[in-house]
């Protein structure tokens, strides 16, 4: 690697202040510091430093997302094939390579657009502010595609990414300064700006919407809905049959026939690209918790919060949504993905130890509450996390105040 190092040394004078390409310094620095840990040394204070830096930390999150990504690509391919064949019940583990490649042709462009748009904007802001790329977007750029439905138009991905990076992050000052999670800002932007492309039962499988327009006959009786969407439709069916508990139980029964607990947990169901597999999320979560990048406090309390809310709703009962077993809520929709990758974003989550527990618990609690009690938003997870992002400073405020009060009390007791 000596030649690369020499080349960098040679090029460096052009990019520093007064050099020919001074303006492009942020770009040069980003590339140089990616290839080589820079030769910065400590000046005073602590003379040695821990090996860990933000690049490695963020890269670990990207690694943790790989199970979700790989599974998501396959799952997307599977449901596209189901659409092509017009049969929702084709075997899951067959023609695996073909499915994976089909999925790849859909997912890869979304990722490219997300990173392309996001990094370009980050570079522009970096050049305006004279600093190299800060690593936060390495993760956001991967999270955004994974929260998108398979059929999302690429221009929407680009628009949402631009919105999230500019409005969600850069106007607050960049990485580390944002109030709400970047990826969820992108998701929420699309959800409210283009609801028809982000919800309903045509967007979750690639090619479905188009085929429904051109060749609806082949899709007779074919449903493109997600588990949550289906649950909502069971609800509306039920509304026409008058409310009896027996009916509700039957609906739950037929729901769990369609979406078995195992299939749901593994993620063999339609949904946003990377969120369906609770299993893949947990593998990523294990890596995050083990390395200390993700907070176990948040993940665990998020799941507990969701489960508790599910149980409470079970107690009320009366319609399929309320009667759905509490554990089901944890394995369908984006719940696990949100708990592991979104709620744990250290910048937007609570930062105090006890604050994290409260933050996580209410995140999960609200996610299920929104999902069940407001049928307009079956996917309540991202709304709940965004809401808790906003509330996190208030939670921290009270935790900090408790610390301050302990100190004041000490003063009074002497």
The answer to whether residues 251 and 239 touch, using CB atoms and an 8 Å cutoff, is: no
Binding residue (CB under 8 A) for other proteins from 119, 269, 293, 381:
293
Q: Which two tokens stand for residue 376?
A: 């307009």
User: Binding of other proteins at residue 17 (CB under 8 A)?
Assistant: no
Candidates 135, 151, 275, 379; binder of other proteins (CB under 8 A) is 135
**Site size for other proteins (CB under 8 A):** 61
Rule CB under 8 A: choose which of 96, 177, 193, 261 binds other proteins. 177
293 DSSP 8-state letter: S
Quote the CA–CA distance of 211 and 96 in Å, as a whole number: 23
Residue 54 found at the interface with other proteins (CB under 8 A) = yes
Give yes or no for residue 214 binding other proteins (CB under 8 A): no
Binding segment (CB under 8 A) for other proteins, from list 45-53, 116-124, 157-165, 260-268: 45-53
HEC readout, 274-323: CCCCHHHHHHHHHHHHHHCCCCHHHHHHHHHHHHHHHHHHHHHCCCHHHH
Pick the closer one to other proteins by CB: 123 or 307. Answer: 123
**Is residue 48 part of the contact set for other proteins (CB under 8 A)?**
yes
**Cα 266 off chain centre by:** 17
Name the minimum Å distance from CB 218 to other proteins: 48
Q: Between 341 and 380, how does the x/- string for binding to other proteins read (CB under 8 A)? A: -----xx-xxxxx--x------------------------
If you ran DSSP here, which 8-state letter would residue 40 be given? Answer: -
Residue 174 binds other proteins, judged by CB under 8 A: yes
Separation between Cα atoms, residue 391 and residue 379, nearest integer Å: 20
Q: Which two tokens stand for residue 400?
A: 């900090």
User: Strands, E, within 110-176: which ranges?
Assistant: none
CA distance 23 to 257: 61
Which stretches of the chain bind other proteins, using CB under 8 A? 1, 4-5, 8, 33-57, 59-60, 132, 134-136, 173-177, 290-293, 295, 346-347, 349-353, 356, 400, 403-404, 406-407, 410-411, 414
């Amino acid at each position: 690697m000596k030649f690369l190092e020499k080349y960098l040394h040679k090029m460096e004078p052009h990019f520093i202040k007064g050099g020919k390409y001074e303006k492009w310094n942020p770009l040069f620095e980003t590339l140089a510091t990616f290839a080589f840990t820079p030769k910065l040394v400590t000046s005073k204070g602590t003379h040695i430093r821990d090996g860990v830096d933000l690049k490695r930390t963020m890269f670990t999150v990207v690694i943790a997302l790989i199970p979700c990504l790989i599974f998501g690509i396959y799952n997307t391919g599977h449901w596209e094939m189901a659409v092509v064949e017009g049969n929702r019940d084709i075997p899951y583990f067959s023609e695996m390579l073909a499915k994976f490649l089909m999925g790849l042709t859909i997912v890869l462009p979304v990722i490219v657009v997300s990173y392309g748009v996001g990094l370009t904007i980050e570079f522009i802001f970096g050049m305006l502010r004279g600093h190299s790329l800060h690593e936060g977007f390495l993760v956001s750029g991967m999270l955004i595609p994974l929260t998108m439905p398979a059929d999302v138009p690429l221009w929407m991905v680009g628009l949402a990414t631009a919105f999230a990076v500019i409005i969600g992050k850069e106007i607050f000052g960049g990485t580390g300064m944002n109030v709400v999670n970047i990826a969820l800002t992108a998701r929420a932007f699309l959800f409210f700006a283009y609801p028809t492309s982000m919800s309903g039962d045509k967007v979750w499988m690639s090619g479905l919407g188009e085929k429904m327009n051109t060749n609806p006959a082949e899709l007779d009786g074919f449903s493109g809905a997600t588990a949550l969407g289906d649950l909502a439709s069971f609800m509306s069916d039920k509304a026409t049959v008058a409310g009896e508990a027996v009916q509700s139980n039957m609906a739950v029964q037929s729901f769990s026939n369609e979406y078995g607990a195992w299939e749901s947990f593994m993620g063999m169901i339609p949904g946003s690209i990377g969120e369906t597999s609770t299993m893949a999320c947990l593998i990523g979560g294990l890596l995050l918790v083990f390395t200390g990048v993700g907070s176990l406090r948040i993940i665990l309390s998020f799941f507990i919060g969701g489960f508790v809310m599910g149980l409470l709703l079970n107690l009320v009962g009366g319609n399929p949504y309320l009667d759905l077993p509490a554990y089901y809520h944890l394995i369908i929709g984006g719940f696990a993905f949100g708990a592991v990758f979104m709620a744990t974003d250290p910048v937007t989550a609570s930062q105090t130890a006890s604050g994290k527990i409260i933050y996580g618990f209410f995140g999960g609690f609200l996610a299920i509450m929104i999902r069940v009690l407001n049928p307009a938003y079956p996917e309540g997870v991202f709304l709940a996390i965004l809401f808790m992002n906003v509330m996190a400073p208030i939670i921290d405020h009270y935790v900090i105040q408790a610390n301050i009060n302990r100190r004041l009390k000490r003063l009074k007791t002497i």
